[in-house]
Every structure is written in structure tokens, then in C-alpha cells.
């Protein structure tokens, strides 16, 4: 999975507990997923993506 570049930028700018963050995930098999979550959850996903090679 790869965080979409637009979603990643928006997430960094909007990562606040009170705001919604919209981002996309692109899977290696060609599928994609559009997600909406709160800032805290997005930061948790972003932190996990940096720790696991399968997210790159």
C-alpha cells in the first residue's frame, strides 16, 4: 500500500483531532481505497507505514 501523495500532504496539514483527514491507499495489485478518518488515526497509520516495508 502506498499513501496517495495528495492524501499524504492533506493529512500532514490537517492532522488534528477535531478534523477529518481524507487519504487514499494504492495497493500493489492495482486496487485503491479512499479513506476518511480523524487526525489521530491518520497519524497512527502514517507511523505504522514508516515502520513496515510492505507499506512502501
Residue 25 burial (C-beta neighbours within 10 Å; 0-12, 13-18, 19+):
middle
pTM of model > 0.75: no
Best mean pLDDT range from 1-5, 6-10, 28-32, 47-51: 28-32
Residue 56 has pLDDT above 60, yes or no: no
**Which of 55, 44, 36, 42 minimizes the C-alpha distance to 12?**
42
Q: Which residues pair with 38 in a beta bridge?
A: 20
Grid cell, residue 15, equals 492532522
Domain ranges of the chain: 2-55
* Confidence bin at 37 (pLDDT 50/70/90): very high
CA distance 8 to 46: 9
Under DSSP, is residue 26 helix (H, G, I), strand (E, B) or coil?
strand
Average pLDDT, the chain: 74
What is the mean predicted confidence (pLDDT) over 35-41?
90
**Would you state the cell numbers that stand for residue 11, as one nine-digit string?**
493529512
pLDDT of residue 55: 47
Amino acid at each position: 500500500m502506498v499513501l496517495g501523495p495528495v492524501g499524504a500532504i492533506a493529512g500532514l496539514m490537517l492532522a488534528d483531532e477535531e478534523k477529518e483527514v481524507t487519504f487514499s491507499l494504492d495497493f500493489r495489485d492495482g486496487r485503491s481505497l479512499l479513506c476518511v478518518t480523524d487526525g489521530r488515526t491518520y497519524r497512527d497509520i502514517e507511523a505504522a507505514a514508516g515502520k513496515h516495508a510492505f507499506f512502501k
